Amino acid sequence: MLVTSKAILEASLQAYKKGQPFAIGAYNVNNMEQMQGIMMAAQEKKAPIIAQVSRGALKYAQDKYLINIIKSAAELAPEVPVAIHLDHGNSFETVKRAIDLGCTSVMIDGSLMEDSKTPSTFEYNVKVTSEVVKYAHDRGVTVEGELGTLGGIEDGVGSGQTHLTDPDEAVEFVERTGVDALAISIGTSHGAFKFKGEAKLAYDIIEKIRKLLPDTYLVSHGSSSVPAELVDQINKYGGKLEHAQGVPLEALKKAIAYGINKINVDTDIRLAATAAVRQFLVEHPEKFDPREYLKVSREAIANEIKKRMDAFGTGGHITDVPNWGLEEMKARY
């Protein structure tokens, strides 16, 4: 069932207000096998999902191909609420293209200038985000903005710098732009090398923003856990990943308890797929059929995502998601 991310995130927010918090996993998709693995996990766990597409993914897979793969997956599993979300749109034109293709949710990352590397001014962020909100809401599409910048760079996204979100600025930003969801910087970062020492998140920032913005959906980017067992598996079978470290699941659970509604996961999906394929090809050097090793990668992705769904508490919540598609949201906006 194709819905807006507002519908899915509303279920999370209402659960938080009732003292039973859970978060929605937003999983990045680059190809068919990744989407199939995500849906396999969602069906088994009875969990709603947000399928994210980055600019890099849309370019790699040709945008119509990728969007239609996700649409087909949603049609084949009508019991699972699915939102198609543009991750880190860097301009109004990028967002417009995603909406025209059928995304039910978009992110405009005005925390960076259009070159995706240079941190922007607050006023620039407000301006570009407001333009996107007007265009998207007129079409029933949910909008996520970002305030503060994350460290690390992945898929061409990120500045390599970290600037934690100011709670008072967050209030002004939401009031002036009208965004539905806000990605906040709390110490996470993009990529597989998030921390050099102990992982620390700014829970106090989540707590303050949640109190100041009780009806805004809060998002944590750069939140892959980079499981040590996957890194070890990759290295065992010929890879070379040194000092990779992510956000522990226990830290993410705590962030959910403080009010995070959406958690972005990309690196873990890549690691799971790569580890499975490396092992398969080393153990079966005579194999050359892509269907055989991609099947293994699909299963590995599904298993890893099921662990995230368990940690985030997402399982069993498909019936809590209101049926808010684009036409429904046009009327609400």
pLDDT, tens only, 230-240:
999 999 999 99
Helix 92-101 to helix 63-76 angle, to the nearest 10 degrees? Answer: 40
Distance between CA atoms of residues 31 and 225, nearest Å: 21
Question: Is 155 known to be catalytic?
Answer: no
Residue 151 pLDDT greater than 70, yes or no = no
Q: Would you state the pLDDT for residue 167?
A: 95
Q: Which of 87, 155, 166, 266 is catalytic?
A: 87
Cβ contact 213:170 at 8 Å: yes
Q: Would you state the pLDDT for residue 118?
A: 80
Cβ contact 18:313 at 8 Å: no
Is residue 48 packed enough to be buried (19+ CB in 10 Å), middle (13-18) or exposed (0-12)?
A: buried
Q: Would you state the pLDDT for residue 152?
A: 43
Cβ contact 162:196 at 8 Å: no
CA angle 19, 265, 251 (to 5 degrees): 50
Q: In terms of residue numbers, what domain contains 304? A: 5-332
Look at 119 and 280; give whichever has higher pLDDT: 280
Helix 167-177 to helix 122-137 angle, to the nearest 10 degrees? Answer: 40
CA dihedral in degrees (67, 111, 127, 130; nearest 10)? 40
Distance between CA atoms of residues 222 and 318, nearest Å: 25
pLDDT band of residue 196 (cuts 50, 70, 90) is low
Helices marked H in 102-182 — which ranges?
A: 122-137, 167-177
Structure confidence by residue, pLDDT tens digits, 262-283: 999 999 999 999 999 999 999 9
| Mean pLDDT of all residues in 22-26 | 98
In percent, how much of the chain has pLDDT > 70? 92
Distance between CA atoms of residues 190 and 213, nearest Å: 25
| Mean pLDDT of all residues in 40-53 | 98
Among 89-93, 115-119, 126-130, 309-313, the minimum mean pLDDT is found in: 115-119
Distance between CA atoms of residues 225 and 217, nearest Å: 22
pLDDT band of residue 192 (cuts 50, 70, 90) is very low
Total domains, the chain: 1
Q: Distance from CA of residue 230 to its chain's centroid?
A: 20
Distance between CA atoms of residues 271 and 268, nearest Å: 5
CATH for 238 = 3.20.20.70
| Dihedral sign (CA 96, 102, 106, 112) | negative
Look at 196 and 72; give whichever has higher pLDDT: 72
Q: Would you state the pLDDT for residue 285?
A: 97
Which pTM was predicted?
A: 0.92
CA-CA distances (angstroms) from residue 191 to 183, 197, 268, 304?
Answer: 17, 16, 9, 17
